[in-house]
Structure 1
Amino acid sequence: MTFPQPSVDSYALVTGASQGIGAAMARDLAKAGYNLIIVARREDVLRTLADELEAAHGVEVVVHAADLSDYDAVTKLIDELEARKVTLCINSAGIASFGPFIEQDWGYEVNQYNLNATAVFRLTKAVLEQMVPRKQGAICNVGSAAGNIPIPNNATYVFTKAGVNAFTEALHYELKKQGIHVTLLAPGPVREAEVPAEEQSIVDKVVPGFLWTTYESCSQETLEGMAKNKRRVVPGPLSKAMDFVGSYGPRGVIAPIVGKFYSKMG
C-alpha cells in the first residue's frame, strides 16, 4: 500500500481551495509536483491561485468554480472527474453558523448541511470509484474536533462534522486492505499566522496566539499523516486539547460551557 506519487496524467482534487486549509494544501501539493483540480465558488480567486502555482511549480491546475452546496453543481463536478485520473482527494470546503438552531436562516442551514456533509459523501464515493479498482489512492476529509461533542449554538455544524468524522474513520478501516489511504483531519481553531486587530474575532481575542494552528502547519501535518495512512490528524496544541476533552470529558459539563461561549459568536 503506497501513497500516490505525482504523475503527468494524475490529479489531486482540492475543494475549498480559495482560502484557509484548502488553499494551503493546494500550495503544498503543487510544490510537491501534483497536478490539481481546485474547487471553490470564487472563480477569480481560483484563477489567481492557479496562475501562481503553475508559474511557480510547472504543474497543471484545473479551475472548477462551483457552489458545492448545490446538488447539481456537485453532479457536474463528478462528471468532470470521470474524465480525469484522480489519485488524491482533499474535501476541505465547509461553512459554519453560530447561535440557537431555531433562530438560524433555514436556507443557510440547509446549504451548510449540503456542503459539509452531502458533498463530502458524494465526492468521496466518486473518487473511490476510481481508486478502488487501481488499489491506490488517498482521501482526506476535513471534519472537526467540534464533531466530538454536542455543542449548543453550533448544532448544524457539529451535526455535519460528527458525521464526517465517523464516516471517514470507518472508511479508513474498510479500505486499508484495498490500498487506499483515508485520513480524517479534525482541527480545532485554525487561522492565518497573523490576524490584524481589526479583523480578530472573539475567538482570536480570547485564545493566546501560541495555541493557534496556522493553515500552513495544518497542511504540512495533514499531508505527512496522509502519507503514513494515519486514521486521524489533530494539528496543533489547542486542537489536541479540544480533541482530548471532547473525547474523554463529561459531556454534561463540557457541552453547556462550550455552548455558552459559542452563543457569543452568533
Structure 2
Amino acid sequence: MKNSFALITGASQGLGLYLSKELASRGYNLLLVSLPNENLASSSKSIENEFNVIVKFYETDLTVKNNIINLCDWANNYNISILINNAGCGGSKKITEASLDYIEKIIQLNIISTSFITKLIIPNLASNTKSYILNVSSMAAFSPIGYKTVYPASKKFIDYFSLGLREELKEFNISVSVVYPGPMKTNNEVSSRIEKQSGFVKSGVVSLHEMAFQSIEKMLQSKKRVIPGKLNKLSKVILKILPLNTKIKLLSKAIKKEIEV
C-alpha cells in the first residue's frame, strides 16, 4: 500500500470524502478528484496529516470529455490499485420542467465519465497483482421512478456496467463491486429533500461513516453487490417482489409529493 494509490472521484464532500478517509485509515495513498472551488486542497492536506499518507488532488469538470482524458493522463503517472467512481448527480424534477442541460449533466457525469475513466485506468489497475473497482450506483437503480426518470436509468446503467465489467476483468485480477446507497445526507439540499420524505424513507438513512466503511470493507472482500443498511436490504427485497407497475406508482407518488412540497 505504501506505493499504491486509490483514485476517487467526487472526493471533496459527502460519500466521496468519507470513502477517502476510510481508505486513508487503511494506509492507502490517495488521488482525489473534484470540481474546482470545493476546498479539495484543504481536505487533501487534512487527510494527509491525519492518516500519514500521500494525498494528491486534481480539480476538473468531469462532464467535459477532454478533462476526463487529461485527468487520466495525470492519474496514470501513479500506481493505482483502487478506482472508485463516486462522482455523480441527480435530483427530482418533472421532465417537462427539466432543462436539456440538467438531463445532459446527469448522463455525462453518471454514465459517460464513469465509463471513460474506467476504460482509461484499467491498464494501470491490471499492472498490479490485485486491484479493485468500486462503482457507486443507488437504490434508485432497482425501479423506474417518475419525476426522476433520467437519474434511476443512469444508476441502472452503473449496475449493469459494473456486473459486466466484473466478469470481463477477472482475467486481470481486477475485482469489480457496485454499491447501492439509499438516502444519504450528503449536503444541505439533499438533507432538505430527505426531511420532506416519509418516516419510512428517513429511517433508511445510513450515516456517511458507516456507508463508507461497509463499501470499502465489502469491496476489499471482492463482494459483487453492496447494500449498506438493514432497511435498504429489506427495501430491495420488497422492490423485487412488487409488480413493476405497483412499485413505479408508489415511488413516483412519493417523489411527486417531494417536489410539490
**TM-aligned CA deviation for residue 138 of structure 1:** 0.3
Residues 43-58 of structure 1: pairs in structure 2 closer than 5 A: 43-58=37-52
1:232 aligns with 2:229: no
1:107 aligns with 2:98: no
Residues 36-115 of structure 1: pairs in structure 2 closer than 5 A: 36-115=30-109
1:204 aligns with 2:195: yes
8 Å CA contact 2:185–2:194 kept in 1: the answer is no
**TM-aligned CA deviation for residue 200 of structure 1:** 4.5
Task: State the alpha-carbon separation in 2 of the partners of residues 110 and 40 from structure 1.
Answer: 19
RMSD of aligned residue pairs (Cα, Å): 2.0
Secondary structure (helix, strand or coil) at the match of 1:62 reads strand
Q: Which residue of 2 aligns with 1:247?
A: 240
8 Å CA contact 1:212–1:237 kept in 2: the answer is no
8 Å CA contact 1:43–1:63 kept in 2: the answer is no
Normalized against structure 2, the TM-score is what? 0.91
- Structure 1's consecutive aligned runs of 4 or more residues displaced over 4 angstroms after TM superposition are none
Match of 2:18 among 24, 40, 63: 24
Amino acid at match of 2:89: I
Q: Which residue of 2 aligns with 1:187?
A: 181
Q: Which residue of 2 aligns with 1:119?
A: 113
**TM-aligned CA deviation for residue 244 of structure 1:** 2.0
8 Å CA contact 2:184–2:191 kept in 1: the answer is no
Task: State the alpha-carbon separation in 1 of the partners of residues 58 and 199 from structure 2.
Answer: 36
**TM-aligned CA deviation for residue 132 of structure 1:** 2.4
Task: State the alpha-carbon separation in 2 of the partners of residues 154 and 212 from structure 1.
Answer: 19
8 Å CA contact 2:184–2:190 kept in 1: the answer is no
- Percent identical among aligned pairs is 27
**TM-aligned CA deviation for residue 210 of structure 1:** 4.6
Distance of aligned partners of 1:199 and 1:173 in 2 relative to their CA distance in 1, 3 Å threshold = closer
Normalized against structure 1, the TM-score is what? 0.90
In the alignment, structure 2 segments of 5+ residues that lack a partner are: none
For structure 1, which segment, 160-169 or 183-192, has the greater mean C-alpha deviation from structure 2 after superposition? 183-192
| Count of residue correspondences | 257
Match of 1:160 among 154, 164, 168: 154
8 Å CA contact 2:182–2:204 kept in 1: the answer is no
8 Å CA contact 1:188–1:238 kept in 2: the answer is no
**TM-aligned CA deviation for residue 43 of structure 1:** 4.0
8 Å CA contact 1:146–1:246 kept in 2: the answer is no
**TM-aligned CA deviation for residue 245 of structure 1:** 2.7
Secondary structure (helix, strand or coil) at the match of 2:258 reads coil
- Describe the superposition over 1:219-257 as per-residue Cα deviations: whole angstroms up to 9, x where unpaired: 100111111100000001232233223333211101011
8 Å CA contact 1:15–1:40 kept in 2: the answer is yes
